[in-house]
Structure 1
Amino acid sequence: MILSVIFYAFVVCAVIQLTYLFTFSSFLFKPKRSRKTKIEIPVSVIILVKNQSEKLLKLIPLILEQSYETFEIVIINNASSDDTNDIIELFSKKHTNIKVVQVENNEAFWASKKYALTLGIKASKYDHLLFTNANCNPVSKDWISEMSKKFTSKKEIILGYRKYKKEKSIFNIFVRFDNLLTAIKCFGFAKMNSPFMAFEGNYAYDKPTFFKVNGFINHMKINFAEADLFIKDASQKENTTFCISESSFTEKDTPKSFSKWFSDKKDTAFIRKKYMFKHRFLLNTFAFTKILFYILATILFFTYPYQITLSIVLFYCLVYYIIIGISAKKLKEPQIIFFLPFLEIGLLLIQITIFISNLNSKPSHWK
């Protein structure tokens, strides 16, 4: 009797997991033809920086070289104490399309990153805003073009892909795998007209949408996750789309250490509590049934006819390999598919650790 319950629970978990996988993979198929912006619209590229002068030296020239006619770069210097301001002034004196917004520490606004971003958005000249970070570099000269042409009369929010630079290390492959899974969920939900997040370092929206929800007012005291929480407030069924052409990607370096990456993942897990209920439910169900699927499969291998259990596991793995493989190819993430079993198990263990850790600790703050 107990074995039968375990087996049926295992089958239910397998069905749920496969349903999620097929649903998430919908972003890989060509979307319905929609009207894209044919005429280049003026764009304000928003960059918030704090003590990142070396990153700016690389990023600003890449943006200035963009194959786009009308755009400005709004650099928000959020009370930097290094030579960031000197670098900004050096570029702004040579290029008239660079606007600088200086932000001093303001305890009335909790020294907020979102307060600084709000000042930059208000200072921007154009209505269409494209966001990146100082540590995220566009991979091509068509970044602005690819992202901005997704704007239409109905599409006000654009989700882009931010990848990690390929490096020769196991840690780098692991981080890229986790990032790929995040992308599959991000774009899968967006394709279902139910977006829940954006990659900080590559997303866009227009000013009217920002002011319609009073900006970041609903989460100003949470000093990070400005993209995800804005999506929660502003995204609607028809006003959000995504861009996954290779030329639209941005790229950043792998975190310097596992502890830094682990801390960022804890912050992300904490922010999930602020998502809409339906997104929390769907994401938590996906994570829980995946863990339960592997636990029940292990039990059944030793207590139930292994041929049946093995056939279900192999079918799941085949579907999983195909979807991850196609997604990795589409999003230009090489090598991941070859290490998939080890990456999958490792990530599950880390997710369990993060869940336990977040029960007794608060997230770190953006500095």
Structure 2
Amino acid sequence: MTYHFETQCIHGDRTKEQAHPYGAVAVPIYQTATFSHPGIGHSTGYDYTRESNPTRTELEKMMSGLEQAEDTVACTTGMAAISLLMELFSSGDHWVCSEDLYGGSVRIFDSMGKKRGLEFSYVNTADLAATEAAIQENTKVLYIETPSNPTMQITDLRAVRKLADKYGLLVAVDNTFLSPYFQKPLTLGADFVVHSGTKFLGGHNDTLAGFLCTGNKDYVEKIRYIYKTCGSCLSPFDSFLLIRGLKTLAVRMEQQQKNAKKIAEWLRTQPKIKSVYYVGLPDHPGYEVNANQTSGAGSMISFQVDSEETARTLLEKVQLITYAESLGGVESLVTYPMLQTHGDVPKDVRERLGITEDFLRLSVGIEHVEDLIADLEQALA
């Protein structure tokens, strides 16, 4: 039987937790490094936690169900998941990437990736012609963020899949901003999906995690082999925290999106706000494409204020909203991308993308929206 998304978040693919010892309703934490063998040549199915662990397996199965993946591996961080993805490729392979990309992704590509002999080009993947023009003879993968971080560019994933088929390429999508609740890239043609599970999936700003999901059967065994070899596996306790976070994913995403829309509309009325970047606003350039490939706009807002002084004053004066890196938790966070998430991106690239001294990013939480607006109002005064 196939269950609705909200039910899968809580129960996975079953309605009763009959498989758990002693009838435990919550998933037990198997805090063990190793497992005993029933006999020589026999196994319970679990041998060593670096390879597999029952708590983590439960989480991975849940994520595979939510993303409609063939398989999922849970990693220590989102960066570990991206590093694992890179291991699938060889020296000389070329990637075409969204130019407005999380700064940590750019850092790992331009340092570790290039050290391994991989090559990277960055283009506006919302522009299909520019994306096609960047493809080379040695291109192997199109790496997409949509919405992008932090300027919220939208890439048409169905069009990207057609382009990939034309040149025999793979497609990887960072789905951190929308989560599988609002967007399922594998159903739109992606071969791989990566997540920073630290963000919306965990949802409480209390643990680090990452996921690599694949819809391509040819890569399941390869990923599992590299995964156990590199040892980037999520711990049993952190797996438990992610399972607990997933249970409320749907209700959190709905409330966060509801709050974000009201805040985005309010920001547009403020004299010190020059521009608002929110995919849920009908005049956003990617609004129609996003609406056609997702079921929501999420709760990430970026905005440009009238000066660097206003930006810094807001960061110093917010009281309820926290000035901090990260996103996707129940608490609202405001970030200064120029100094924080995109500090490693070259200045000329940042400024061309609009990530300047007057640019801020807001991750909207589940607090009462009137309290959040009041906090922004006093910080902008």
Give the TM-score band, short-chain normalised: under 0.3
What is the TM-score of this pair, normalised by structure 2? 0.23
More helix by share: 1
What is the TM-score of this pair, normalised by structure 1? 0.24
